[in-house]
Amino acid sequence: MRMNFTSWRWLLSPSVAILVMLTPLALLSFNLTPGRPLLPLGAPIAVAAVVVPLLLLAPRLRVPRRQGLQSFMALWLLPGLVSLASVLWSAQPGLSLQRVLLVFLPGLALITLVACDARPWRTFTLVARAVVATAVVLALVGIVLLALGQTRLTGEGLVQTFLLGPVQVGQRLVGNPPFLRITSLADNPNGLATWMVFGLVLLPTAMPDRERPWPRFLAGLLMVIGLLLTMSRTGMAAVLLALAVYQALRHPGRVVPLTLAILTVIGGLAVVVMGLRALGFDLTDTDRLTFSLSAREEAWRPLIEAWRRQPWTGVGFGVGYEELLRARGLRFGAHSGHLLLLAEIGVLGYLGVVLVWTRGMFGAVMGSRQGRLPSRVGATCAALLAAYFTQQFFEASMLRFTFASYFWLYLTAVSVLAHKTEDTD
């Protein structure tokens, strides 16, 4: 009986609530086949996963008096209040309000759960294992589909499908032959690359056993292959940046060899590109081997124009695509989280986001140096925050109802609020 009581207490813990909150958001971004969601009714389920655990936990939560908690919550509320005020001048106030409620209130709850978590490193390890497992499955699915899938042209574009027992899985192929980019279940090569970045950086935390290196090597190899097959230049650059930050904090003596290795890889890629051109391969059909913005500038122009018109307050939170991009006939997203936020909530709101990120980076670095955070956790959080923030110059998932948006806030909260002395495992 006592064991059941203990297990039920654990099921109603902040640790489980964090996992329950993040899991449906991850599943929400996946498709079994292009246009067919992996999680039917995903959005209502994701909202319920945020609300229900909080209602169950509310009577039991005891928010600790912790240095930095109130100031960190205030930092998070700064862009939240600007976003809430923007509902007043938004062209779609209902949509703006809905997205404010879906981002900032759950974000505040997530910060509270991290602060209340008595075993933050166990939670962090569980999250890391879940993310790595997801990334490995995505990479494996993408590779298998590329090798064995049946390719056909559909309304979703070029699609590869494979029958796995009674279930059919599929992925879109993006680009022109021979530079076709895989998407796996993520339906977007850059979204898939983001998962590979998360998985590769979290791999040492998820699989720390040095006595059995082969499982970690195999998982890492699959994710590296998956990342390369996305041909995401932003994703590859983010991994290199994250690796440099991680090594600088975790193993400072290895920074110089790592830098030389990165330069060697870049030089090798340049040689390969020049060799392909010398052999007569036409590289004009792809932008993967150039510094092209892949038509991102088409989305950036209206965002910059809107920001210039309302530099301090923006046009309204969460409506950048509907009001600025779709109105121009564009059918793709902003491809810059930073520009999108500047256009939507102006300098005042964007400054709050930068302060939250800066506080997280500072907390991760100083926390690991002062012993408040285990060095691996501090280095991992700093590496992921640096990579994600940089990646958002060319992708846009920040302050959205997405796994990546909640995940970077979770990393920031761990960096600022988690304490090593409280973990009894």
- 114-153 pLDDT per residue, tens: 998 889 999 999 999 999 999 999 999 999 999 999 999 8
Rounded to a whole number of angstroms, the CA Rg of the chain reads 22
User: What's at 167, amino acid-wise?
Assistant: V
| Cα distance between residue 321 and residue 334, in whole Å | 7
pLDDT at 182: 94
pLDDT at 183: 95
| Cα distance between residue 256 and residue 260, in whole Å | 6
pTM of the model: 0.89
Q: What is the mean pLDDT of each run of 10 residues along the chain (425 residues)?
A: 48 82 89 87 77 73 76 94 96 94 91 90 95 97 93 86 87 84 92 96 89 88 95 91 90 65 62 59 53 70 92 94 83 85 96 96 93 93 95 90 94 90 45
Task: Determine which helix (DSSP H) or strand (DSSP E) holds 86, and give its type and residue range.
Answer: none
pLDDT at 50: 77
DSSP state of 327: G
User: Looking at the chain, how many residues does it have?
Assistant: 425
pLDDT at 280: 58
pLDDT at 351: 96
3-state secondary structure of 181: strand
CB–CB of 373/221 below 8 Å? Answer: no
pLDDT at 423: 45
Q: Which residues contact 397 (CB under 8 A, 6 or more apart)?
A: 194, 337, 404, 405
pLDDT at 286: 55
| Cα distance between residue 180 and residue 207, in whole Å | 31
pLDDT at 265: 61
* Residue 66: Cβ-neighbour burial (10 angstroms; 0-12, 13-18, 19+): middle
| Cα distance between residue 39 and residue 27, in whole Å | 6
Residue 171: both structure tokens together: 């992925």
Establish whether the linkage from the previous residue to 40 is cis, with ω within 30° of 0.
no
Q: Which residues contact 98 (CB under 8 A, 6 or more apart)?
A: 318
**Which residue stretches of 35-182 are H helix?**
42-57, 69-85, 93-116, 120-148
pLDDT at 5: 40
Residue 302: both structure tokens together: 């209206």
